[in-house]
Amino acid sequence: MPQKKPDSYRIVKPGEPHPQGWQVPPVNDLRSAIKLLKTLPGHYIETDREVDPNAELAGVYRYIGAGGTVMRPTRIGPAMTFNNIKGFPDARVLVGLMASRERVSALLGAPVRELGIQMAEARRNVTPPVMVDKAQAPCQEVVYRADDEGFDLRKILPAPTNTSEDAGPYFCLGLVLGSDPDDRDNADVTIHRLCVQSKDELSIFFAPGRHIDAFRQKAEAAGKPLPVSINMGLDPAIYIGAEFEAPTTPFGFNELCVAGGLRGRPVELVECLSVNQRAIARAEIVIEGEILPNVRVEEDQNSHTGKAMPEFPGYTGEANPSLPVIKVKAITTRHNPILQTLVGPGEEHVSLAGIPTEASIHIECEDALPGLVKNVYAHSAGGGKFLAVLQVQKRNAGDDGMTRQAALIALAVYRELKNVILVDEDVDLFDTDDVLWAMQTRYVGDIDTLFVPGVAGHVLDPSQQPFYDPRLTAKGTTSKTIFDCTVPYHLKEHFVRAQFKEVDASLWAPDLFAK
């Protein structure tokens, strides 16, 4: 399958050492991912107790392992499969597969602190997807066609409703694959908000700047529908790789190539059965459909709550009054499929959005300022999007200014980033207490704060609205902030942390260090 703007390729076989020293695990779909998690204590559980997909399932997982920006109490916990879904005797729902950085580390095969670096390497060394025959595509083992008598996607798939005020049931991990109406090889994959509207219709919400929306607009201008596939229940490398955004993955770049780079093997695609589009061959579930031209619906037309669903900043989004419609043509699944979902504001979103954010920033900073930025963390408090912590190692007085330049690069490369905190190499960027310690002892507000006003941010941040800031003419605009919590180079000797004796503490407390 041709790939626009090809990069260099590196082939790494599963189970063999990665050139960077990472061990690529034998995972190529959701089921092999679950099999791996079952070998890791504390990372996967199942329940046979009946659960209602309407608000109850998400309510349960809020306490089990949602984390992220979910209202407390919540926590980081295991992934969970519900085997007994009310009203769906043959259905299973998995939530939280990627709701832990440690779990993502095991699934991708890189150390917890190097996941962003691993993603950067996968972006630099891509492997394009390949086509396979239908006989090699387990996603088409069972077929439901929309023109079959009695077809109703609401009875086939248990799409969860996260809260009682949601606009309706949502597919929260539906990876939409679309392509240029005039060039099917110019394809893109993105996760979008998909609300079930009827037996064969979904609404789709596009945040500004999404590439599939550009394809939709082009097709609509020609009066044509845009064929898409919605792929659910995937190898986590596919989901995370798909979360790269421009300019790191520019228009015309297929993010499935990143998943191939992570695995060292191509993602397998298959021709859809009812529309002129491709689907991910090893998906658990695929919805085939077309985005209709010049058709719009109110997102909450069935509930009239005025709300959409809980979003990553921790608030329930407002229902959109006019969204494009996907007309479903077919649903294909594996035997006994697993519907994969997430809790909108949870830690799973942090992994999905944050790790590619870290990679994007690392790539651009390393290209512009080699050796200065040691690591990047897209903090959970910002849902993986709004807050980044950059760890730097200054080498001379000139790096005082270069450090702040790195923060500007981060804001430029990731449009939705709102705040950047800069810390030195002796600060653990993954430890919020340590970062806040640096802010208390290495930061003075009126000399170490930089403001970048009036630039594009994210429409789902409620503070980026004209009603919050009357200076704004449109939502999704904000003032961005850089907090320089690093020591000026010439003062380094005055900010040396207390040095403790290096010992093997496990000799005194072996149970605390047992693996």
Q: Which of 69, 77, 70, 74 is nearest to 103 (CA)?
A: 77
Q: How confident is the model at residue 209 (pLDDT cuts 50, 70, 90)?
A: confident
**pLDDT over threshold 60, residue 7:** no
How much is the average pLDDT of 385-407? 98
How much is the average pLDDT of 256-264? 91
Q: Which of 491, 428, 482 is nearest to 455 (CA)?
A: 482
Distance CA 258, CA 262 (A): 6
pLDDT of 65-111, one tens digit each?
Answer: 999 999 999 999 999 999 999 999 999 999 999 999 999 999 999 99
| Neighbour tally for 498: CB within 10 Å | 4
Q: How confident is the model at residue 1 (pLDDT cuts 50, 70, 90)?
A: very low
Angle value at C-alpha 330, between 197 and 275, nearest 5 degrees: 110
**Structure token pair of residue 19:** 């050139």
pLDDT of 336-391, one tens digit each?
Answer: 999 999 999 999 999 999 999 999 999 999 999 999 999 999 999 999 999 999 99
DSSP class of residue 17? B
Beta bridge partners of 205: 193
**pLDDT over threshold 70, residue 114:** yes
Domains of the chain and any CATH numbers:
30-348 (2.30.110.10), 369-494 (3.40.1670.10)
**Structure token pair of residue 148:** 């079959």
In degrees rounded to 5, what are phi and psi of residue 432?
-60, -35
Q: Which of 314, 379, 380, 318 is nearest to 344 (CA)?
A: 314
pLDDT of amino acid 387: 98
pLDDT of 289-329, one tens digit each?
Answer: 999 999 999 999 999 999 999 999 999 999 999 999 999 99
Burial class (CB in 10 A: 0-12, 13-18, 19+), 1: middle
Q: How confident is the model at residue 3 (pLDDT cuts 50, 70, 90)?
A: very low
Place of tokens 């939530």: 95
The percent helix, strand, coil of the chain (3-state, each to 5) is 30, 25, 45
Half-sphere exposure for 291 (CA within 13 Å, toward CB): 29
Q: What is the mean pLDDT of the chain?
A: 94
Q: How confident is the model at residue 20 (pLDDT cuts 50, 70, 90)?
A: low
Q: Is 271 helix (H, G, I), strand (E, B) or coil?
A: strand
Q: Which of 137, 351, 342, 139 is nearest to 241 (CA)?
A: 351
- The torsion angle over the Cα atoms of residues 162, 167, 172 and 177, rounded to 10 degrees, is 170
pLDDT of amino acid 13: 54
Q: Helix H segments across 157-268?
A: 211-221, 236-241, 256-263
Question: Do residues 332 and 144 make contact, with C-beta atoms less than 8 angstroms apart?
Answer: yes
The single-letter code of the amino acid at 31 is R
**pLDDT over threshold 90, residue 278:** yes
Three state DSSP letters for 121-171: HHHHECCCCEECCHHHCHHHCEEEECCCCCCCHHHHCCCCECCCCCCCCEE
How much is the average pLDDT of 461-490? 95
Question: Do residues 208 and 271 make contact, with C-beta atoms less than 8 angstroms apart?
Answer: no
The residues, ordered by sequence, that sit 6+ positions from 133 with a Cβ below 8 Å of its Cβ are 270
Distance CA 388, CA 391 (A): 10
In this predicted model, which residue has the larger pLDDT, 13 or 386?
386
- The torsion angle over the Cα atoms of residues 215, 216, 217 and 218, rounded to 10 degrees, is 50
**Structure token pair of residue 183:** 């060039």
Distance CA 361, CA 354 (A): 11
Distance CA 433, CA 497 (A): 15
pLDDT of amino acid 63: 98
Q: How confident is the model at residue 15 (pLDDT cuts 50, 70, 90)?
A: low
Beta bridge partners of 176: 190, 230
Distance CA 305, CA 309 (A): 10
**Structure token pair of residue 14:** 């599963």
Q: Is 448 helix (H, G, I), strand (E, B) or coil?
A: helix
Place of tokens 């605009």: 477
pLDDT of amino acid 5: 41
Q: How confident is the model at residue 61 (pLDDT cuts 50, 70, 90)?
A: very high
pLDDT of amino acid 251: 75
**Structure token pair of residue 46:** 């199942």
Count helices and strands (H / E) in the chain: 12, 23
Q: How far are the Cα atoms of 135, 284, 327 from residue 141, in angstroms, in the given order?
A: 9, 10, 22
pLDDT of amino acid 264: 87
Q: Hey, which residues are catalytic here? A: 311
Report the percentage of the chain scoring pLDDT > 90.
88
pTM of the model: 0.93
**pLDDT over threshold 80, residue 248:** no
Lowest mean pLDDT among 185-194, 242-251, 462-471, 477-486: 242-251
Distance CA 464, CA 456 (A): 9
pLDDT of 131-163, one tens digit each?
Answer: 999 999 999 999 999 999 999 999 999 999 999
Q: How far are the Cα atoms of 228, 388, 393 from residue 244, in angstroms, in the given order?
A: 19, 15, 26
pLDDT of 414-455, one tens digit each?
Answer: 999 999 999 999 999 999 999 999 999 999 999 999 999 999
